[in-house]
A = this chain, B = another copy of it.
Amino acid sequence: MQQRAQDTRLSVIEGAARVFAEIGYGNASLADITKRAGVTKGALYFHFTSKRELALAVIDEQHAMVQAAGSDIVASHRPALEKLIGLCRMFGQQLLDEPIVRGGIRLTFEASAFQADVSGPYQDWITTAQQLLAQAQAEGDVRSDLDPAAFARYLIASFTGVQMVSEVLTAREDVMARIDHMWEFMLPALTQRPAG
């Protein structure tokens, strides 16, 4: 795709993400989106044939954006456990700062409304967490008898709930503090052997 076409596509996605983040999938119309994105209906329909297709593109773009920021953290020279905590804080910050991430996450929660399978992004994050936990075991920061797969699954589920409940109760005002609380309450399970 030519650069100009790519730019238009991305600005349609970002405009759509802002609308979806604000009013949700069910209440958003393609007319709202063209207005917000500052693109014509023609430009929108050149790239997307339906609201559903556009919603799926927002989710893809959001996941790609957070994964890219995550790759930088994973590639950095830090202990694996620090990387894992850093990934969660980065994701929280993106939820505060990035319209595409806010829109993509709202759509992920609403995905049943448009029959989208959103298991892929969850699985990707579970795999990343599992790998980092196994590294942290090798580095001696996580107890060797922890099951990295089970804990990774728990971590991603907890993180999902923490940011969701933060949105319901405080419009995400306390999301960073809640992520820090989550880690404070998770670390003992990672470092201390269970009794018995």
Contact of A153 among B122, B181, B189 (CB under 8 A): B181
- Are the CB atoms of B153 and A157 closer together than 8 Å? no
Q: How far is the CA of A192 from the CA of B184 in the complex (A)?
A: 12
Contact of A185 among B26, B154, B164 (CB under 8 A): B154
- Chain B residue numbers with a CB within 8 Å of A61 are none
- Are the CB atoms of B154 and A160 closer together than 8 Å? no
A5 within 8 A of B: no
- Are the CB atoms of A191 and B187 closer together than 8 Å? no
**How many of chain A's residues touch chain B, expressed as a range?**
35 or more
A2 within 8 A of B: no
- Chain B residue numbers with a CB within 8 Å of A159 are 161
- Chain B residue numbers with a CB within 8 Å of A27 are 113
Contact of A164 among B113, B157, B181, B182 (CB under 8 A): B157
- Chain B residue numbers with a CB within 8 Å of A156 are 161, 165
A160-B165 contact in complex given A110-B113, A113-B25, A189-B186, C-beta closer than 8 Å: yes
